[in-house]
Each structure stands twice: as C-alpha cells, then as structure tokens.
C-alpha cells in the first residue's frame, strides 16, 4: 500500500497531495479536504517510534497533545488534523506559562515511563547517555542524584512545536530521560528569539517557571542546580537524537547538517543558559 492510498483510506483529499518536507528523518505531506487540512507524516531513520507514542499520548494526555486521526505504527505513518496557529504564529505567547504547563505534563506522564520504553521510545536515562558518550570517546558529565522522576523529554520544545491553545506536537526527538533536559533547547531558542544574554532575568524567570511545578519534591535551589546538570547531560541526548535521525542519511546529507552528532558532543563542558 502506498502512503497516498493509506491517506485516502481515512480522508478524502481535494486536489493534489502536497509534499512540504522531505528529510532523512521525516516526510510530511499536506492534505487538503472539504473538512479542512490534515497532515501526513512518515517517520524515517530510527524515529519510527513517534507514531506509536502519539497514539499513546492521545490516551494519556487528551486535550494536551495533538491527537492523530490514524496511525500505522509498523510503517511509522501518522495522519494528523491541523492544529491551527502555533504560539510562534500567534506572536510567541507566554514562554513562562508554556514551560510551566509542559513541566506539569511531564510530571503527569512520568507514571507511563515503562510503557513508553515498551513502545520503543528511546532510552535516554542518565546512565544510558553516559555509557553512550563514553563509547564514543566523549567525556560524559558526572553522575548526579535526581530529585524528580524520569519521564518523557520532548527535546525540541519551543514555540513552533506548541499550538496557541497549548497542545504540544512533534515528538520525533523525544525520549525517556531526565525531564529537566528539555530546557537545553527551550531556553536557547527563547534567548535567541529575544536576543538575551546569559544571566538575563527573563531567562531566569523562564527557568524558574518551568521548575515551579517540581518544588514539592526538592528545594528550589537544589532544583536549579539539578537543572544545570541535566541540561549539560542533555547535550549527549541531542547527539543521540541526531544519530537516530540520520540513520538512513547519506554521507552528503550528514555533511549538509554539519555532522550534528559530533557538534553536540563538542558542546560538553561549555557554558549553558541554565
């Protein structure tokens, strides 16, 4: 069965299917119908787990994630409704609120971590990441004691992956990991968009807004220190994510993306925004 046949088995397109993205890790098609726009996605490389994860998240967190119309987990295919404007489309939204809401989502999903691993969501628990880095001759960050449960770590959370109504989408980089690692990408995007320098009060407020839902588990000062450790370790996670994404990439395609696996490992030990 072709993806075109599969799409037409669930919705009735009007006009041609429009390919809008083709990457080594994903293939995305816009599907216009009389009932609105839908989006077909094929996960590629070692990111196929996203289809199964999206189906599970729709059951575990209804109304807080984009819920698929149809899933073919074996092929890594998903058909999604159009979610409307993203926060970025809507002017950027309130990052403090977005991060706090995401922290609560992570807490609520932590009870499903074992099920996520059974769905082949990547295992990026701290000990796994350290072993992975060591096997590649990178110096892994030292171990630290976690005050919070391991859970789903989106790993690419920013205002273009959250709709204006707060629903989160695009879980192709997600893993089971230390939740605070999500701040690596989030705060970097936030700082770039607002031209903020390290130590800016707006960055501190955003970080603390994210940490607030966890403050019943440990003192705020301890959580801030743990966040800095988790963000440093998350650099290894980003390298692992890129390795999965580029599993089927040609050498030319890897070069096009500036060898991001080596690039992220080279960031170890450099200052972060947390």
Output the CATH code of domain 3-81.
Answer: 3.30.200.20
| Residue 259 or residue 54, greater confidence | 54
Per the confidence metrics, is the pTM higher than 0.75?
A: yes
Give me the percent of the chain exceeding a pLDDT of 70.
100
pLDDT in tens, 204-231: 999 999 999 999 999 999 999 999 999 9
pLDDT in tens, 42-96: 999 899 999 999 999 999 999 999 999 999 999 999 999 999 999 999 988 899 9
State the architecture of 95-266 in CATH terms: Alpha-Beta Complex (3.90)
* In contact, 254 and 246? CB cutoff 8 Å: yes
Q: Which of 103, 44, 46, 45 is nearest to 77 (CA)?
A: 44
pLDDT at 255: 84
- Around 222, how many Cα atoms within 13 Å sit in the side-chain half-sphere? 11
pLDDT exceeds cutoff 90 at 23: yes
Q: Where are the domains of the chain?
A: 3-81, 95-266
pLDDT at 224: 98
* In contact, 96 and 175? CB cutoff 8 Å: no
State the Cα–Cα distance between residues 58 and 65, nearest whole angstrom.
7
What are the residues whose beta carbons fall under 8 Å from the beta carbon of 193, sequence distance 6 or more?
92, 159
pLDDT in tens, 155-191: 999 999 999 999 999 999 999 999 999 999 999 999 9
pLDDT exceeds cutoff 90 at 258: no
How many whole angstroms from its chain centre is CA 84? 19
Tell the residue number behind the tokens 């799409």, with chain if given.
7
Q: Where are the alpha helices (DSSP H) in 9-135?
A: 49-60, 95-109, 113-118, 126-135
pLDDT exceeds cutoff 90 at 144: yes
* In contact, 118 and 198? CB cutoff 8 Å: no
State the Cα–Cα distance between residues 246 and 261, nearest whole angstrom.
9
Mean pLDDT for the stretch of residues 111-120: 98
* In contact, 86 and 170? CB cutoff 8 Å: no
């Amino acid at each position: 069965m072709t993806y075109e046949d599969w799409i037409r088995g669930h919705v009735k397109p009007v006009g041609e299917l429009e390919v809008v993205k083709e990457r080594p890790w994903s293939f995305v098609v816009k599907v216009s119908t009389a009932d609105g726009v839908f989006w077909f996605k094929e996960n590629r490389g070692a990111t196929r787990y996203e289809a199964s994860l999206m189906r599970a998240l729709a059951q575990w967190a209804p109304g807080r994630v984009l819920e698929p119309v149809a899933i073919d987990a074996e092929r890594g295919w998903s058909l999604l409704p159009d979610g409307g404007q993203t926060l970025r489309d809507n002017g950027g939204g309130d990052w403090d609120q977005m991060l706090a809401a995401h922290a609560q989502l992570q807490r609520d999903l932590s009870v499903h971590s074992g099920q996520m691993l059974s769905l082949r969501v990547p295992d990026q628990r701290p000990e796994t990441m350290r072993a992975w880095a060591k096997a590649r001759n990178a110096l892994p960050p030292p171990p630290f004691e976690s005050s919070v449960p391991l859970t789903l770590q989106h790993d690419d959370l920013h205002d273009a992956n959250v709709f204006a109504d707060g629903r989160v989408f695009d879980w192709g980089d997600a893993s089971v990991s230390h939740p605070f690692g999500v701040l690596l990408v989030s705060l970097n995007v936030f700082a770039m968009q607002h031209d903020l320098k390290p130590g800016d009060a707006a960055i501190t407020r955003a970080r603390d807004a994210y940490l607030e839902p966890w403050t019943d588990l440990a003192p705020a000062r301890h959580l801030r220190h743990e966040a800095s450790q988790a963000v440093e370790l998350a650099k290894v996670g980003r390298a692992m994510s890129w390795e999965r994404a580029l599993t089927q990439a040609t050498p030319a395609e890897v070069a096009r993306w500036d060898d991001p696996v080596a690039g992220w490992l080279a960031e170890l030990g450099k200052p972060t925004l947390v």
